[in-house]
């Protein structure tokens, strides 16, 4: 019935998810009205659940003509649980339990509204890169007091039969206990790699959920603790009133299998299996080990994230031959990207500009090679876009990689090489790595002075930046020693009324006040 697109908020310059109905799905006014009701319900229901495990709804467009029906939502960078379920290799027990516990916390907030999800399944549960579990698609949830049980054009019950509680199969009234049954199905599948029931068709699945007893986990996986097996069996009881009293009770029974704060990962369990791509798999136990922990130092220092499959910009990759017509077509596409980027820059939409250029980089690198001049120029434009957006953490590794690439292609003293080295140092300064930033800028300035002199445009900017960084470190005397001769040079070259000359003069005046004043007084 619909699509989910990655989009950009043009006002706040941030990525978003846009969920919209396909026009061809609206086959009649009645169907259009039904979709509009579903979207309106999704927007209102989701907005009521104030929990970080539920993607936020930013906006809803539901026009009366039903020609535009879409939601603008938080974009979640994560992987669905379906990617981690494998029949032959099992996930660590703590990993599966941590996912279930996070889902339980989301459901506790939803059930308080009260809202029943009605379609909880691995495909609707994402694990974000930081280990946070996100529960998606509350669109078919209903406010309990409205007692809405059906919301499809065919009148069939809502849900996915593989995870559907017996009362849901029968079309009876759903309650929070219905979600508990689905949570039991999900936890069973995470622990043993197989669904609770695996009928060949919907009728068989419906019959199994209503009449068949599930296989105890201990018979499918020897290392599942008996108490955890008992919890899953209790969640999968046929009668809703026989299941745990509420999701809070489920969480309490999961707690003994969760790590405590400050616990470090131990060797008691095997790591994630190779098929799960364990090198880059998020850790959902982290929120229990270190609740409200700061970002990792690797991320703060601007380390580039690992890329599966190797570095897409690594030199030496084979470049396919390109016909003249194809090469001209690619040039035209690159020109269009530059025009689009310029337009976005004019509107201060720098994050979106970085995304637009990034899409072209991958295509151009495959055809032209990662160190082709046009590709390097695109990569440089993306790095500048990220820097202008204030995302210095992402811009830093990009500028460093570009400096290395330009040095290989054009030499270490090339203007682009030096500029990328300087921009990388400036990013480090913005990230608080002042010592490293000063060293980087000083190295570049030494080379620029030898090539272009002390009052070239690049040299002047570097001297100004070095002085300001020294001042930021509280090294006022050293900053004065850099900025005072710079001011004299600027008066000669640009004149005393030039904007940059005046800026340096104002800074020097403040430094003089600090140097000549009472050392015990407040710092400026």
Peptide bond into 113 cis (omega under 30): no
Helix or strand holding residue 406 (H, E)? helix 392-410
Retrieve residue 74's tokens: 């938080």
Q: What is the Cα–Cα distance from 324 to 145, expressed in whole angstroms? A: 66
Q: What is the Cα–Cα distance from 453 to 459, expressed in whole angstroms? A: 7
- Interaxial angle between packed helices 392-410 and 373-388, expressed in degrees from 0 to 180 and rounded to the nearest 10: 160
Beta strands in 84-169 (DSSP E): 115-116, 125-128, 133-135, 142-143
Rg of the chain, C-alpha, whole Å: 29
Q: What is the Cα–Cα distance from 505 to 380, expressed in whole angstroms? A: 33
HSE-CB of 229 using CA atoms within 13 angstroms: 14
Cβ partners under 8 Å of residue 415, min gap 6: none
Q: What is the Cα–Cα distance from 322 to 319, expressed in whole angstroms? A: 9
3 state SS of 58: strand
Query: How many C-beta atoms surround the C-beta of residue 194 within 10 A?
Result: 16
Cβ partners under 8 Å of residue 435, min gap 6: none
List residues bridging with 72 in a β-sheet: 18, 59
Query: How many C-beta atoms surround the C-beta of residue 394 within 10 A?
Result: 19
Q: What is the Cα–Cα distance from 447 to 453, expressed in whole angstroms? A: 9
Retrieve residue 430's tokens: 């913005």
Going across the sheet that includes 2-9, the strands are 2-9, 14-21, 69-74, 57-62
119, 391, 465, 514: which one is catalytic? 119
Q: Say if strands 78-80 and 125-128 run parallel, antiparallel, or are unpaired.
A: antiparallel
- Residue 338 C-alpha from the chain's centroid: 26
3 state SS of 270: coil
Closest CA to 460 of 433, 493, 431: 493
Q: What is the Cα–Cα distance from 464 to 500, expressed in whole angstroms? A: 9
Residue with tokens 């953490």, as numbered in its chain: 393
Cβ partners under 8 Å of residue 325, min gap 6: none
DSSP 460-515: HHHHHHHHHHHHHTT-HHHHHHHHHHHHHHHHHHT-TTSHHHHHHHHHHHHHHHHH
- Residue 179 C-alpha from the chain's centroid: 27
Is residue 59 annotated as a catalytic residue, yes or no? no
Residue 155 has φ and ψ, to the nearest 5°, of 85, 5
List residues bridging with 16 in a β-sheet: 7, 74
Catalytic residue IDs: 119
């Amino acid at each position: 019935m619909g699509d989910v697109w990655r989009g950009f908020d043009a006002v706040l310059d941030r990525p978003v998810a846009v969920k919209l109905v396909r026009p061809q799905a609206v086959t009649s006014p009645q169907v259009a009205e039904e979709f509009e009701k579903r979207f309106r319900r999704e927007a209102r229901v989701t907005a009521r659940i104030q929990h970080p495990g539920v993607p936020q709804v930013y906006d809803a467009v539901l026009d009366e003509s039903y020609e535009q029906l879409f939601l603008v939502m938080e974009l979640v960078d994560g992987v669905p649980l379906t990617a981690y379920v494998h029949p032959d290799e099992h996930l660590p027990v703590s990993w599966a339990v941590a996912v279930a516990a996070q889902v339980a916390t989301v459901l506790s907030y939803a059930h308080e509204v009260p809202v029943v999800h009605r379609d909880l399944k691995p495909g609707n549960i994402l694990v974000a890169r930081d280990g946070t579990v996100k529960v998606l698609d509350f669109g078919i949830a209903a406010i309990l007091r409205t007692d809405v049980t059906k919301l499809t054009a065919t009148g069939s019950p809502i849900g996915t039969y593989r995870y559907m509680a017996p009362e849901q199969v029968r079309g009876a009234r759903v309650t929070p206990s219905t979600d508990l049954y689905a949570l039991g199905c999900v936890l069973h599948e995470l622990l043993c790699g197989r669904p609770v029931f695996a009928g060949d068709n919907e009728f068989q699945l419906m019959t199994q959920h209503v009449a068949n007893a599930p296989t105890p986990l201990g018979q499918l996986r020897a290392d599942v603790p008996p108490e955890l097996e008992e919890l899953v069996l209790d969640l999968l009881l046929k009668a809703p009133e026989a299941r745990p009293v509420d999701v809070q009770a489920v969480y309490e029974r999961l707690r003994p299998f969760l790590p405590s704060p400050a616990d470090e990962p131990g060797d008691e369990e095997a790591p994630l299996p190779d098929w799960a791509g364990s090198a880059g798999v998020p850790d959902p136990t982290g929120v229990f080990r270190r609740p409200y922990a700061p970002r990792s130092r690797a991320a703060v220092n601007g380390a580039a994230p690992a890329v599966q499959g190797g570095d897409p910009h690594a030199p030496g990759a084979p470049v396919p031959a390109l016909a003249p017509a194809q090469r001209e077509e690619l040039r035209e596409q690159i020109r269009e990207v530059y025009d689009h980027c310029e337009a976005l820059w004019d509107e201060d939409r720098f994050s979106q500009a970085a995304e637009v250029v990034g899409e072209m980089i991958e295509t151009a690198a495959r055809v032209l090679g990662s160190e082709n001049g046009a590709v390097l120029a695109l990569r440089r434009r993306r790095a500048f876009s990220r820097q202008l957006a204030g995302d210095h953490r992402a811009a830093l590794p990009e500028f460093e990689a570009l400096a290395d690439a330009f040095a290989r292609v054009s030499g270490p003293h090339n203007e682009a090489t030096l500029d990328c080295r300087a921009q990388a140092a400036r990013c480090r300064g913005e990230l608080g790595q002042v010592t490293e930033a000063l060293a980087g800028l000083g190295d570049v300035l030494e080379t620029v002075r030898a090539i272009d002199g002390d009052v070239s445009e690049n040299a002047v900017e570097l001297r100004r930046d070095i002085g300001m960084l020294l001042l930021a470190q509280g090294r006022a005397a050293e900053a004065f020693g850099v900025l005072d001769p710079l001011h004299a040079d600027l008066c000669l070259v640009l004149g005393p009324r030039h904007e940059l000359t005046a800026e340096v003069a104002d800074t020097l005046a403040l430094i003089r006040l600090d140097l000549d004043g009472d050392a015990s007084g407040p710092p400026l």
